[in-house]
């Protein structure tokens, strides 16, 4: 039996396939367009469902023994269905500006602190609830036809299986899920004027929705017994796929976005909310995760190499070497002395300031391309150190990291993280931690694995561990203390 993870992203979806022995076999990807104007940020629901069917059909043709498909997706974005299960509107992305007034109103009606303590998230227009209120108030001719409200994960699960269920981690992205009692927050829904009966049934991460619809099995080339499994928000799947099950370590998703996802039991909800951390129920009852992230992780490094590293690009082209290898060769294990504020796409946690801009400070004529390249890497790590300090103030301590994603290929960056953060950092063999996590949860759901611990032994492969060097850490610590002042110095100017 083969295990598949279906990941639905903002601009594309993919299916990754694994054997029951944990071997990664391959993936199929297809993108779809996103429409952004000044007043609307939307994606066509049918384009997503068509792309999902296409990648499943292609994967089934290549790997005909798929026994289960786990579904993960981006959060917040919802689908409104009519009585025939047809989408009524394009899906509003979390960046869509609509819903701000409604968010202010629901926060006043219910109380911001009550919402934070019950749902684990601070009121913000990015979440589903304010945007649902906007549709209800501004498109009443549409709202009167709504028979079902789904987020993207449960929409695809419903489309494939006929079962309307949503996992706890995706439900939290609505701003109306009780993370303690693991049910819809009825008081908030009543205040918003949303009927709870329109929403899918909340279920634990990794719950099977049953077999694929018979007619779809034939259309997509799958066996009629293929199970469809509700997995999670994408970062939760990455934590599972990294073998991060308790407080002993956190996952560092070193991709386009840099994201640290720790596991914890106790926390200060108001301190967490103040820094923009959303509290998400995890796979073990009573445990939670949150997302500490920077919008520009690998994206900042890629921007630099494509925009400013002209000499290095030329050398890479002539020598056939990778540009990152060229820029990392001869790394001196000491701070560059430069300070990079990595807010080139706005600031995520702990600031949550989309208007913040990036900055490179301390340049002189003596600085080289390599200095700036390494300082961009340092800036991303300093930002995550800032997050770790904020988390610790809220009662969440990160003790070690497991690194996945494209950034985990850089030995220099991993050692830099260990030195700046002063904790061990272990690289994982698989860059596709989210897909691996989906496959692990599917394997448990269909009986291939007895539990996630057994699945992890098969599918999670730690590689080298990088340990902090105290003398180097002390050098970085001096620079980090200066870094903590950069945002407040730069922000008034931009």
DSSP string of 372-435, one letter each residue:
HHHHHHHHHHHHHHHHHHHHHHTT-----EEEESGGGG-HHHHHHHHHHHTS-EEEES-S-HHH
pLDDT at 432: 81
Block residue for tokens 């561990």: 465
pLDDT at 179: 97
pLDDT in tens, 251-298: 999 888 899 999 999 999 999 999 999 999 999 999 999 999 999 898
pLDDT at 453: 94
User: What's the CA gap between 108 and 366, in Å, rounded?
Assistant: 55
Q: What is the mean pLDDT of the chain?
A: 95
pLDDT at 242: 94
pLDDT at 199: 98
pLDDT at 217: 96
Q: In what order do the strands lie in the sheet with 207-211?
A: 24-31, 12-19, 2-8, 66-73, 227-233, 207-211
pLDDT in tens, 44-62: 999 999 999 999 999 999 9
pLDDT at 407: 87
pLDDT at 39: 84
Strand 462-466 vs strand 425-428: parallel, antiparallel, or unpaired? Answer: antiparallel
pTM of the model: 0.92
SS3 201: strand
pLDDT at 467: 98
β-pair partners for 43: 34, 91
Tell me which residues of the chain have a pLDDT lower than 70: none
pLDDT at 136: 98
- Phi/psi-derived region of residue 487, left when phi > 0, alpha when psi is between -120 and 50, beta in every other case: alpha
């Amino acid at each position: 039996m083969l295990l598949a993870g279906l990941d639905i992203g903002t601009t594309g979806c993919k299916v990754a396939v694994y054997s029951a022995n944990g071997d990664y076999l391959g993936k199929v990807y297809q993108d779809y367009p996103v429409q952004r104007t000044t007043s609307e940020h939307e994606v066509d629901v049918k384009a997503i469902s068509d792309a999902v069917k296409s990648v499943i059909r292609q994967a089934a043709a290549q790997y005909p023994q798929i026994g289960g498909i786990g579904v993960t997706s981006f959060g917040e974005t919802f689908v409104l269905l009519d009585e025939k299960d047809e989408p009524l509107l394009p899906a509003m992305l979390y960046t869509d500006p609509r819903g701000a007034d409604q968010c202010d109103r629901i926060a006043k009606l219910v109380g911001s602190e009550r919402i934070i303590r019950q749902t684990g998230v601070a009121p913000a227009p990015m979440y589903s609830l304010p945007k649902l209120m906007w549709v209800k108030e501004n498109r009443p001719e549409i709202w009167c036809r709504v028979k079902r409200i789904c987020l993207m994960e449960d929409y695809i699960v419903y489309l494939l299986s006929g079962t309307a269920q949503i996992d706890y981690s995706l439900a939290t992205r609505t701003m109306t899920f009780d993370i303690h009692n693991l049910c819809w927050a009825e008081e908030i829904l009543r205040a918003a004027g949303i009927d709870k009966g329109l929403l899918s049934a909340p279920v634990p991460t990794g719950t099977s929705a049953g077999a694929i619809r018979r007619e779809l099995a034939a259309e997509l080339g799958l066996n009629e017994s293929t199970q469809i499994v509700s997995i999670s928000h994408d970062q939760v799947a990455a934590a599972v796929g990294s073998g991060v099950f308790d407080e002993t370590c956190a996952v560092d998703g070193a991709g386009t976005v840099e994201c640290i996802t720790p596991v914890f039991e106790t926390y200060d909800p108001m301190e967490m909310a103040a820094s923009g951390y959303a509290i998400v129920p995890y796979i073990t009852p009573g445990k939670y995760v949150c997302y500490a992230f920077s919008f520009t992780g690998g994206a900042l490094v890629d921007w630099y190499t494509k925009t400013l590293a002209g000499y290095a690009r030329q050398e890479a082209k002539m020598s056939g070497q990778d540009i990152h290898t060229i820029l990392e060769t001869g790394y001196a294990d000491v701070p560059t002395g430069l300070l990079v504020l990595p807010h080139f796409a706005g600031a995520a946690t702990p600031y949550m300031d989309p208007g913040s801009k990036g900055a490179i400070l301390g340049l002189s004529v003596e600085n080289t391309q390599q200095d700036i390249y390494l300082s961009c890497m340092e800036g991303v790590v300093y930002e995550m150190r800032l997050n770790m300090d904020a988390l610790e103030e809220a009662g969440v301590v990160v003790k070690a990291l497991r690194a996945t994603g494209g950034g985990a290929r850089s030995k220099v960056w991993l050692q830099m993280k260990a030195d700046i953060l002063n904790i061990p950092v272990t690289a994982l063999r698989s860059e596709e931690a989210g897909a691996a996590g989906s496959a692990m949860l599917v394997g448990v759901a269909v009986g291939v694995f007895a539990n996630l611990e057994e699945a992890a032994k098969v599918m999670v492969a730690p590689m080298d561990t990088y340990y902090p060097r105290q003398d180097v850490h002390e050098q970085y610590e001096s620079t980090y203390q200066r870094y903590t002042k950069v945002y407040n110095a730069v922000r008034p100017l931009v």
